[in-house]
Structure 1
């Protein structure tokens, strides 16, 4: 049985070896704040970062923010040490992001190391290799998976292509399709040009249109843009309420709302949007 999904929306990642950034990550306004033990941590300080990351979960985050960790691949020595350390943290993460996932077995290994009485964290698979894309149908059916996160940097490197939208469109489409088929959510990759906020907005809008439930950020200045894109507008909420109200009055019949023919799929989408809106907590986002 799958665990209830962790929040979608905006995810923020901060390196574990720079603990001075932890307070800012806690209050940045993200839906999920992750401390990173993988790529952003130099090999020479992995052990220190592993221990320092424990403090990330002791402090209280801002309301509505879920705390998590990105470990190293569970098929590596660092990943095994990460899992062992997290299992002994005094306060453990709600979300664990597992990189380089290429088989459902990778999720099972993490669950086996971390699950304990009263503790079953949300496990997300980071999809960032061609082999992972081939194995998506089986990965998304792992018993303990809560969702998928797309990693463009490693995926583009493996293909020898650019990280641009067109080059990554096939992989993104496959990822959201497999996630939807399994009933889990998909979170899009970070946008790595920190100074191009217009480019970030464009990519976030395309990702939302494609079916992603949120997007990762790697710098605080990106958060307001991604939050704005993935937060339903007042007009979208009003339209959804009108559709749901008309559908309830029509008692299952096809309806017309503002000149549009509305059937069961549109009603379902409207109800889903309102459910997301009801679970949103207003947040102040630091620029």
Structure 2
């Protein structure tokens, strides 16, 4: 005998609020394109052609020093450096900039350069700035003033604009910053919610708070829909946990712990993750450059294998090893991912029974390969037998 319908309904009704909370907090992937990197350029070094200059410097380094890549990969990397060398760029007013007396003028100049990049058609897919932290009243006031000057000079908000909020240690900082952005929008006449930001996870307090709880969920709740990313800060974090200089690198297990916490806290929220940087720069003679490229290549591959599809680049020549690693990663998995997705679509997995979540992940990987230039839409369609619209539907789990 089956349970009485009204009795079951009265019990499960108690879960409706749970369902609503879960749907609001975990809406799923954000969709659209995620850059493979964020390039940090000190505000004092920003110029009218910075994105193009980075590409030219990277290409010159590639041609001077060479880099042993798989057949066909070198051509793809060179094409990328010519057509779209920088996918995401942050004008840095924090650690990479310092505290010069010219910050007001630099903020106006940098905002003018950003507007100029868009007018000239050389702007990266996404851009923004990193302000100073809210660590102390002096830094907080300086960061707010710089942001105020920058936005007022910019006037019109360009597409893909995002602000980096560094060294967060408390949810209240995130809450105040989110409200501050609302005040800027009101003053400038921009629509509410147009200013978004990414939180830098580079303090121990951004992993575990003073009460012993994971801190990131509270950060996300405090920032609401304005929080679009979590970016790991390699060197501040490794220093904060007491590692010596020789152990301060992305491959350290302390970084793995922090990244895994970020990953679990962001899963299902639509908030994107970015890994940190390598301070071993490809400069000097060929031997030094190749050694630095090898280190950076390995770290980028490691990040990708851990599910971090974006990372920081601090020097133009790092674009060579960035794209070599990213393109190699996606092209090596392209055929396998395409076959599995095609089999899933035909409901004939050939011994591998995949779930809808796996199809979502496979389509996401193939879409990312097209977004960054590792593969073309035609290649993906030919390999899977599926249109890009169908892949996007799988990614949204709409099929």
TM-score band (shorter)? Answer: 0.7 to 0.9
Structure 1 residue 90 corresponds to structure 2 residue 155: yes
Structure 1 residue 201 corresponds to structure 2 residue 297: yes
Structure 1 residue 25 corresponds to structure 2 residue 51: yes
Who is 1:163 aligned against? 248
Structure 1 CA distance for aligned equivalents of residues 180 and 51 of structure 2: 26
Residues 39 and 314 of structure 2 are in contact (CA less than 8 Å); yes or no, is this contact kept in structure 1? yes
Structure 1 CA distance for aligned equivalents of residues 228 and 203 of structure 2: 19
* SS at structure 2 position matched to 1:68: strand
Structure 1 residue 137 corresponds to structure 2 residue 217: yes
Structure 2 CA distance for aligned equivalents of residues 56 and 39 of structure 1: 21
2:167 equivalent among 79, 93, 100: 100
Residues 38 and 71 of structure 1 are in contact (CA less than 8 Å); yes or no, is this contact kept in structure 2? yes
* SS at structure 2 position matched to 1:277: helix
Structure 1 CA distance for aligned equivalents of residues 271 and 305 of structure 2: 17
Where in structure 2 are the equivalents of 1:121-136 lying within 5 Å?
A: 121-134=195-208, 135-136=215-216
- State which drifts further: 22-31 or 35-44: 22-31
Structure 1 residue 216 corresponds to structure 2 residue 312: yes
Structure 1, unmatched stretches of 5+, are: none
2:267 equivalent among 144, 169, 180: 180
Residues 36 and 70 of structure 1 are in contact (CA less than 8 Å); yes or no, is this contact kept in structure 2? yes
Structure 2 CA distance for aligned equivalents of residues 5 and 127 of structure 1: 23
Structure 2, unmatched stretches of 5+, are: 1-23, 56-84, 209-214, 283-291, 376-399
| Offset at residue 99 of structure 1 (A) | 0.4
| Offset at residue 246 of structure 1 (A) | 1.3
Structure 1 CA distance for aligned equivalents of residues 151 and 324 of structure 2: 35
| Offset at residue 31 of structure 1 (A) | 1.4
| Offset at residue 74 of structure 1 (A) | 4.0
Structure 2 CA distance for aligned equivalents of residues 80 and 64 of structure 1: 25
Residues 41 and 49 of structure 1 are in contact (CA less than 8 Å); yes or no, is this contact kept in structure 2? no
Where in structure 2 are the equivalents of 1:223-242 lying within 5 Å?
A: 223-231=319-327, 233-242=330-339
Report which of the two structures shows the higher radius of gyration computed on alpha carbons.
2
Structure 1 residue 7 corresponds to structure 2 residue 72: no
Structure 2 CA distance for aligned equivalents of residues 282 and 242 of structure 1: 18
RMSD over aligned Cα atoms: 2.7
Structure with bigger strand share is 1
Residues 111 and 151 of structure 2 are in contact (CA less than 8 Å); yes or no, is this contact kept in structure 1? no
| Offset at residue 177 of structure 1 (A) | 2.2
Residues 14 and 25 of structure 1 are in contact (CA less than 8 Å); yes or no, is this contact kept in structure 2? no
Who is 1:265 aligned against? 357
User: CA distance change for structure 1 residues 228 and 43 in 2, over 3 Å: closer, same or farther?
Assistant: same
Structure 1 residue 36 corresponds to structure 2 residue 100: no
Q: TM-score, normalised by structure 2?
A: 0.63
* SS at structure 1 position matched to 2:345: helix
Who is 1:79 aligned against? 143
| Offset at residue 179 of structure 1 (A) | 2.0
Structure 1 residue 153 corresponds to structure 2 residue 255: no
1:227-261, CA deviations, whole angstroms, 9 ceiling, x for partnerless residues?
232345334233322222211111xx7x23xx655
User: CA distance change for structure 1 residues 87 and 111 in 2, over 3 Å: closer, same or farther?
Assistant: farther
Q: TM-score, normalised by structure 1?
A: 0.85
Structure 1 residue 70 corresponds to structure 2 residue 167: no
* SS at structure 1 position matched to 2:122: coil
- State which drifts further: 205-214 or 58-67: 58-67
Structure 2 CA distance for aligned equivalents of residues 86 and 63 of structure 1: 17
Structure with bigger helix share is 2
